[in-house]
Amino acid sequence: MVLDEASSFETSEDLATCLTTSPIISESWRLCSVANATAARSFVAENGGGDGEVVYVALSGVQMAEGTESSWRRLVALESIGGESLFSMHRKREEEEVVMVHAAIFDLFSSFFVSFRNQMLPIMRNSKTKSIVITGHSIGGAIASLCSLWLLAYLQHISSSISVLCITFGSPMLGNQSFSNAILKERWGANFIHMVTKHDIMPRILFAPTMPHIAQLNSLLQFWQFSMANPSSLGNLAMQVTDRDKAELFSFVTTYLHHAATQEGVEGLFRPFGSFLFVSDEGAVCVESSAAVIKMMHLMFVTSSPDSSIEDHLKYGDYVNKLSLQFLNKKSSMQGIVPNCSYEAGLELALHSSGITRQQPAFEPAKECLKEARRAGPSPALKAARLAITLSKFVPYRAEIECYKAWCDQQSDQMGYYDLFKRRGSSKREMKVNMNRIKLARFWNNVVDMLERNELPYDFELRAKWINTSHFYKLLVEPLDIAEYYGKGKQKTNGHYIKHGREKRYEIFDRWWKDSVAAREENSERSKFASLTQDSCFWARVEEARDCLDSIRSESDTTKLALLWQSIDKFEKYSMELIENKEVSLDVLAKNSSYSIWLEDLRELRELKAKEKKFSNHFNPFMDGEVIP
């Protein structure tokens, strides 16, 4: 068996071990307990250790007393949080469902978002802050996920290197399938770790329609939240929910969880996202696949009972406290039963950690589930290595485009790279360059697709090789895409390139470069002009400026004229700064380039407007009825 195909269960076991034995989990739970007991409907924040590099923020699980029939199932569209757009790099396809989250939970989050943001902004501005851990128990866990999404979007927007980790305990489901997909595409899945105990009904409850059991659910919430706020005096659930009610609720959730796990019946509204750390009395196992998470939720839950399904929601502290010792003991206790085969050993460890025994009916289905969850095909690391080999095969295509650019710069017509390609004919050279442009686009689109399917390592876009290579590709080839767009007159039907024609891959590469250390340090002065213009959309801005200039010639509305001149002045200033900093290539300054012609047209128009103004001022006395002798 190939090594990378045999290592998935060992990785799952090692990840679970690492998480449960690290201080992050125990510190997160400790602060959750503080928030539950002292900060109802709010949150608490603490520095982790004395250096202030890690900041913990815990959202209280004591958030609401009861829900209504509609509030339990209602979803609301999620496009932005606190003014920060979400999932902007991955536009929704028409056939995809809108990204949606639980409406009541989003309302709770919104009710204190301003105070949360006001407390977080100084923390993020503090140069000592390196990591932020957002955590929460029960409903507080779902709210913590929304807080983390805002942080991720905000930190991405300001290109901060602060890392964000969200750890939830017994959190209910939060969003639909599109929400789960969008988080994967943004590469944020690894930022969310959801701890779920073997029996806890809370993370599973939204897989079932809750309308027949609203009263019981409200009683459960009141019991849980009273117990969280007063851990020394647990609430009396028996006075509010009978054993019969508990049994009916348990059976009801189990049935719909089975439907969700086996994809029977109507598809549920909610789907998991991020990594799930399933814990039992025997240990923990980490699962990432959404389908496998639902199946494991079901298979572990059917070994439970109505009472334990409710009591387990309040026992996360017990699991956290004993997991570390269990992992130390398990290695010796399983010595006699662990198979020699790496694959079988990893599978055996994962099954043991799930708490499902060989004697239970759920054992074989759980074994098959974990087998299916094993990553099909090569590992992300191996795929990245193969992608690098494929990239080397595309280098000649890029080199031919570079040679074409050098050839354009030497032509006597002095039009330059952009304009020659825009007005190209059907020569063999130009056809080959265009074909190379298309081949490179296919390669980079495939890279983006692999990222969105989570087939590449989580740190792929942080690797200097791929940041620099994608950036060079963008600077070299996007001017040709812009030339193709305007050469075919697409702006007349679709609108200008930057807003209506730019490919998603370029927006993603912009973000990689902006987020990289290399980009932030690229401020040294140049001694000569760049080989490639550092704004890959420069020619699209030239085309927009040319359109503004044409509009001024025919526009009579003074308000519109003022806006047009404002746009022209802004671009002129921007372009002059690029030239002064030598951040443009020589083809921009070619005598007959679109930019040089635009500058000349702008100069002539200004001279004409100045003459008109002078002429108008000279004849004003006659216009006012004055007679000059």
Confidence band for 211, pLDDT divided at 50, 70 and 90: low
For residue 252, is pLDDT > 70?
Answer: yes
**Please, what are the domains in the chain?**
12-373 (3.40.50.1820), 380-520+527-612 (no CATH)
Distance from the Cα of residue 116 to its chain's centroid: 21
Q: Report the alpha-carbon distance of residue 352 to residue 355 in Å, rounded.
A: 6
515 is catalytic: no
For residue 215, is pLDDT > 50?
Answer: yes
Confidence band for 374, pLDDT divided at 50, 70 and 90: low
Give the pLDDT of residue 628: 43
Of 376 and 302, the structure prediction assigns the larger pLDDT to 302
pLDDT in tens, 96-124: 688 999 999 999 999 989 999 999 999 99
Give the three-state DSSP class for 550: helix
DSSP characters over 33-94: HHHHHH-TTSEEEEEESSS--EEEEEE-S---S---TTTTT-EEE-SEETTEE-STTSPPPT
Orientation angle between helical segments 464-487 and 428-452, nearest 10 degrees = 130
pLDDT in tens, 555-608: 888 899 999 999 999 999 999 999 999 999 989 999 999 999 999 999 998 888
Confidence band for 621, pLDDT divided at 50, 70 and 90: low
Rank 41-55, 56-70, 89-103 by mean pLDDT and report only the highest: 41-55
Which residue in 200, 312, 419, 510 is the catalytic one? Answer: 200
Q: What is the mean pLDDT of residues 269-284?
A: 90
For residue 437, is pLDDT > 80?
Answer: yes
Of 222, 105, 121, the C-alpha closest to 162 is 121
Share of the chain above pLDDT 90, in %: 51
Confidence band for 376, pLDDT divided at 50, 70 and 90: low
Mean of per-residue pLDDT scores for the chain? 84
Q: E strands within 112-219? A: 131-137, 163-169, 192-197
pTM for this prediction? 0.72
Give the pLDDT of residue 216: 79
107 is catalytic: no
Give the pLDDT of residue 39: 85
Q: For residue 408, give every residue at least 6 positions away whose Cβ sits within 8 Å of its Cβ, in sequence order, or none.
A: 415, 416, 417, 420, 421, 587
Phi/psi region, residue 185 (left: phi>0; alpha: psi -120 to 50; beta: rest), is alpha
For residue 131, is pLDDT > 70?
Answer: yes
Q: What is the mean pLDDT of residues 454-477?
A: 90
* Residue type, position 513, single letter: W
Of 264 and 456, the structure prediction assigns the larger pLDDT to 456
For residue 10, is pLDDT > 50?
Answer: no
Of 418, 390, 423, 398, the C-alpha closest to 539 is 418
Confidence band for 12, pLDDT divided at 50, 70 and 90: low
Q: Report the alpha-carbon distance of residue 134 to residue 145 in Å, rounded.
A: 8
Of 17, 323, 60, the C-alpha closest to 169 is 60
Which residue in 12, 138, 289, 567 is the catalytic one? Answer: 138
Rank 146-160, 512-526, 602-616 by mean pLDDT and report only the highest: 146-160
Q: What is the mean pLDDT of residues 34-62?
A: 88
- Looking up tokens 């969310």 gives 192
Beta-bridge mates of residue 75: 102
Which residue in 258, 313, 352, 471 is the catalytic one? Answer: 313
pLDDT in tens, 71-100: 677 899 998 887 788 876 554 444 568 899
Give the pLDDT of residue 3: 36
Of 74 and 421, the structure prediction assigns the larger pLDDT to 421
200 is catalytic: yes
